[in-house]
Structure 1
Amino acid sequence: MKKFGLLIAGIIAGCVLLANVGPMIGLAISLVILYYVIKQFMKSESTSGKIIWGLIGLVALTASVANIPSIIGVVAAYVLYLVYKNWNKTKKTTFQEEQDPFVNFEKQWAEIKR
């Protein structure tokens, strides 16, 4: 039943990721452009240069804000990663030395024998 749930979660996350690939690429490009514009704005010494870079930055910021729903695609990619990571994970039921009463018994028996 666990694998079925992982399969369904993986299929849904894959569909959401595929639906948001375009906006994710758009967000990445617009953030790179915005970073470049901010660096050029800081380097610019003239007022007209700062105004032009400020307007370009405003356009890039608007494009970035328009692609914010693509963060859902990033979350879907993370869910796909978790599904992949947990697909073949098995529960191991091993006793630790503190939890296994027979280990302590054997230690005490060995002490009594001495």
Structure 2
Amino acid sequence: MKKFGLLLAGGIAACVLLVNVGPMIGLAISLVILYFVFKQFMKTESTSRKIVWGLIGLAALAASVSNIPSIVGVAAAYVLYLVYKKWTESKKTVMKEEADPFVSFERQWADLERS
């Protein structure tokens, strides 16, 4: 039943991720353009160029804000990662650590004496 729940959650997350791939790419591109525009705006000293870079920056900011719902796609990718990690998790048997390190030695010594 646990595997079915993981499969269901993974399937839903994969569908949400596939739906939001386009907006995620658009958000990434618009943020890169916004960063480049900001760097150019800070470099230039001409007022007219600052106005032009400012207008381009506003357009890039508008494009970035319009792609904000793609954050749902990022969250879906994270959920998909968690489902994959949980799915491939191997069940390890935890051996009980004994407090006294000489217990194992004493057991082996007893085995040697019996031989």
Is the structural similarity TM-score above 0.5? Answer: yes
Match of 2:87 in 1: 87
Verify: 1:17 aligned to 2:43, yes or no.
no
3-state SS, counterpart of residue 97 of structure 1:
coil
Distance 1:104 1:83 in 2: 41
Q: What code does the residue aligned with 1:6 have?
A: L
CA displacement at 1:98 relative to structure 2: 3.2
Alpha-carbon separation, structure 2, partners of 1:67 and 1:41: 23
User: Which residue of the partner structure matches residue 78 of structure 1?
Assistant: 78
| Identity among equivalent pairs (%) | 72
Aligned counterparts of 2:106 and 2:8: Cα–Cα separation in 1: 49
List gaps (5 residues or longer) in structure 1. none
1:6 paired with 2:6, answer: yes
Quote how far apart the aligned CAs of 1:106 are. Answer: 7.5
| Deviation sequence 1:30-69 (CA, Å, 0-9, x none) | 0011011001101111001001100110110111011011
Name the count of aligned residue pairs: 110
Three-state SS of the structure 2 residue aligned to 1:89 is: coil
Alignment RMSD: 2.4
Q: TM-score by structure 1 length?
A: 0.83
- Whichever residue aligns with residue 79 of structure 2, its letter is V
TM-score (norm 2): 0.82
Q: What's the counterpart of residue 65 of structure 1?
A: 65
Gaps of 5+ in 2: 110-115
Partner in structure 2 of residue 44 of structure 1: 44
